[in-house]
Amino acid sequence: MLRKTILISILLSFTAFAIAQDIDNIFKDRSEVYFTFDVNTDTDLQSLSRAISIDNVTPEMQVFAYANKKGFSEFMKRGISYTILQHPGTLHHPRMLDVAGVKNIDSWDFYPTYDAYVDMMYQFEADFPELCDVFSIGTTNEGRELLVARITDNVSQSEGEPEFLYTSTMHGDETTGYVLMLRYIDYLLNGYGTNARLTNLVDEIDIYINPLANPDGAYHGGNSSIYGAIRFNAMGVDLNRNYPDPEDGPHPDGNAWQTETVHFMNFAEEHNFVMSANLHGGTEVCNYPWDTWSTLAADNNWWVYVCREYADTVHANAPGGYMTGYNNGITNGYQWYSIAGGRQDYMNYFHQCREFTLEISDVKLIPASQLPAHWNYNYRSFLNYMEQCLFGVRGKITDSASGDAITAEVFVLNHESDSSWVYSSLPGGNYHRLLFESFYSIRYSKSGYYSQTFDNVIVHDREATVQDVELVKIMFDIDEPLAETFSIYPNPVSGNYLKLKANQSVGDITIYSMNGELCHKSNTGGTNTAFVDVSKLNAGTYIIKIVLDGKLVQQKMIRH
């Protein structure tokens, strides 16, 4: 028995040594590996995805994935047969243009160097100062800028228009959307005043476009070329697995929030985006919520409608076979394969922003000569999707006595779930509730005010139903000042986490049942924002309490 135990120990030690040698050889000259393996339906992809970054799962259950050295070591312990593939960022040397080369372009069949990209962005602002403002939301680990172009008719003002965001290439080797978004900026600006549809979109929407969300990954091989682009950021982390998740918590990938993640989270906090889209590559499909769980979104009919519109418009302008996989170009994220920590679910759940993931090219780094064709396939759909934020039910919510704009909840009765309701925003009190064509009952409410409900509100596809609301203040409501000092959402909460945000730093957070039993206690560490784990709470009504400025303040919270 002793000999058998010693033999097993020797074999295990030898196996571990062999794996370590293989890992060292594989990662001798690379920071991440791209590989494929086959699974059966019983394989725990959820568990695997905590170690590696799953990129695609085919109907035949072939998995394509990326991993850094640590993640691949964990994968190899599973004993699964795999094949290492050529990295998508090294398939060919793309045509690059430098700062001088992009000055007088007459076609969009190139990729810019990093310096040329920065120059192009700020040139948009210089050429159209009344329509375009270019700014950085932060700097990456390697010192590159996360640039955003804001486009609207009065760029120096806030007019209460719906805010819309396009962002691309958070996976650094998925570069088709990068150039298409640069061209989209150019198209909107140069078409303003001459193209009626473009003029209306710029007049009515506050548009934000971030062409490159992971510049360190895209220019991993150096600022002069995107050859050698990688999926992860400079720290070896998949940014699209790094966001707080409604089911798996604030750090579902086990990593700290990356520099890019923090900048984008702060950017989202500073705005009230009604809609957004996150452009990727590696397949061709419109991927709509949810990614993290099987439950369909409350607005699933609307999601299918807008994604169907996107794909059908593409089909009318692209050769046969483009964006025709899955359900003819669209898919529910979870039904494709589940991920945790994706930005799509983060924006939908924690910011009530309708974001979907748009995969626009089977090849991640397409030859530059194919970029104009992909633009022609997609630009009409870019417009259609962005235009959707003008439809549904919209209006202003004000105080009936003063006429001042207020923030209030807009809740569709017998419809909402999983943080699907929205809020009006300041300074104008505007709200935008995107809905599929039907009849709805909508409740408008705010702490300290009498709520109002409007029945039989009619919504037609691609039309706006305007419903302005005046809420009447409840006099002598002593609870109102306390309720305004912090917010929790979603409330009711059906996921495992809720977000708490206060107007100053928060210490202890406690949650009590209605009979006074302490059910939860945690500490934020002095921040003013926290993701609170409510997974162990039974369905019911609770009181959540925090201490602000030496005073105990509280709100009711409902757990579904």
- Catalytic sites, residue numbers: 359
Angle subtended at Cα 109 by Cα 365 and Cα 226, rounded to the nearest 5 degrees: 35
Closest CA to 109 of 375, 481, 393, 404: 375
State both tokens at 116: 């040329």
How many angstroms separate the CA atoms of 439 and 208, rounded?
A: 32
Extended strands (E) in 254-412: 273-280, 283-288, 330-332, 354-361, 392-399, 409-412
Contact 284, 322 (CB under 8 A): yes
Contact 539, 549 (CB under 8 A): no
The helix/strand/coil state of 323 is coil
Extended strands (E) in 81-230: 83-84, 96-97, 111-112, 132-139, 145-151, 163-168, 206-210
Closest CA to 273 of 367, 409, 167, 139: 167
How many angstroms separate the CA atoms of 524 and 538, rounded?
A: 23
How many angstroms separate the CA atoms of 110 and 88, rounded?
A: 18
DSSP assignment string, 380-416: HHHHHHHHGGG-EEEEEEEETTT--B---EEEETTT-
The helix/strand/coil state of 547 is strand
Beta strands 392-399 and 469-471 are parallel
Find residue 502's DSSP bridge partners: 486
Residue 294 carries which DSSP code?
S
How many angstroms separate the CA atoms of 77 and 63, rounded?
A: 17
Contact 546, 500 (CB under 8 A): yes
**25: buried, middle or exposed (CB in 10 Å: 19+, 13-18, 0-12)?**
exposed
How many angstroms separate the CA atoms of 131 and 126, rounded?
A: 10
